Structure 1
Amino acid sequence: MKTRILTAVIALAIFVGILMLPPVVFTIALAAVILVMLYECYTATKADNLMKFVGGISSIIMMLVMCFVLKSAELSLIFVFMAATAILLLYMIIIVTRHGKKSYKDILASGFLTLYITVSMWCIWFVKEFFGTEFMLLIFICAWTTDTFAYFSGKLFGKHKLIPHVSPNKTVEGSIGGVIGAVLCCLVYLVILYQLPTNDFIVNASHWVVYFIAVGLVGGVLSQVGDLIASSIKRDEDIKDFGWIFPGHGGFMDRFDSVMFIAPVILIMIIFAMIAF
Structure 2
Amino acid sequence: MVKRIITSVVALAVFVGILFLPPICFTVALAAVILFMLYECYSATKADVGMKTIGFISAVILMSSIYFCKAIEWDTFAWATASIGIIFIIALHMITVVAKHGKRNYKDILSNGFLTIYIVLSMSCVWLAKETFDTATMLLTFICAWSCDTFAYFTGRFLGKHKLIPHVSPNKTVEGSVGGVVGAMVICIVYLLIVKNVFDTNMLQWSNVVVEGAVYGLVGGALSQLGDLIASAIKRDTGIKDFGWIFPGHGGFMDRFDSVMFIAPIMYILPMVIFGVM
Query: d(CA) in 1 for partners of 2:175 and 2:32?
Result: 36
Residue 175 of structure 1 corresponds to: 177
Residue 6 of structure 1 corresponds to: 6
Residue 106 of structure 1 corresponds to: 108
Residue 32 of structure 1 corresponds to: 32
In structure 1, the gaps of 5 or more residues are: none
In structure 2, the gaps of 5 or more residues are: none
Q: Any conservation in 1 of the 2:94–2:110 contact (CA below 8 Å)?
A: no
Query: d(CA) in 2 for partners of 1:263 and 1:80?
Result: 17
Deviations 1:131-155 (A, max 9, x none): 1010111000100000000000001
Question: Structure 1 residues 203 and 126 mapped into 2: Cα distance closer, same or farther (>3 Å)?
Answer: closer
Q: Any conservation in 2 of the 1:161–1:172 contact (CA below 8 Å)?
A: yes
- Give the root-mean-square deviation of aligned CA atoms: 2.0
Residue 54 of structure 1 corresponds to: 54
Q: Alignment partner of 1:123: what SS?
A: helix
Residue 157 of structure 1 corresponds to: 159
Query: d(CA) in 2 for partners of 1:78 and 1:165?
Result: 40
Mapping of residues 57-96 of structure 1, within 5 Å: 57-70=57-70, 71-72=73-74, 79-80=81-82, 83-96=85-98
What amino acid is the match of 2:18? I
What amino acid is the match of 1:99? H
Aligned residues: 276
Report how far residue 81 of structure 1 moved.
6.4
Q: Any conservation in 2 of the 1:211–1:273 contact (CA below 8 Å)?
A: no
Q: Alignment partner of 1:258: what SS?
A: helix
What amino acid is the match of 1:147? D
Query: d(CA) in 1 for partners of 2:22 and 2:274?
Result: 27
Identity value in percent: 58
TM-score normalized by the length of structure 2: 0.93
What amino acid is the match of 1:193? V
Question: Structure 1 residues 82 and 252 mapped into 2: Cα distance closer, same or farther (>3 Å)?
Answer: same
What amino acid is the match of 2:55? G
TM-score normalized by the length of structure 1: 0.93
Query: d(CA) in 1 for partners of 2:40 and 2:223?
Result: 22
Query: d(CA) in 1 for partners of 2:2 and 2:79?
Result: 51
Query: d(CA) in 1 for partners of 2:36 and 2:61?
Result: 16
What amino acid is the match of 2:235? K
Question: Structure 1 residues 257 and 79 mapped into 2: Cα distance closer, same or farther (>3 Å)?
Answer: closer
Question: Structure 1 residues 95 and 155 mapped into 2: Cα distance closer, same or farther (>3 Å)?
Answer: same
Deviations 1:232-277 (A, max 9, x none): 0001111110000001100000000000111101111111244279
Residue 220 of structure 2 corresponds to: 219
Report how far residue 92 of structure 1 moved.
2.7
Q: Any conservation in 1 of the 2:66–2:81 contact (CA below 8 Å)?
A: no
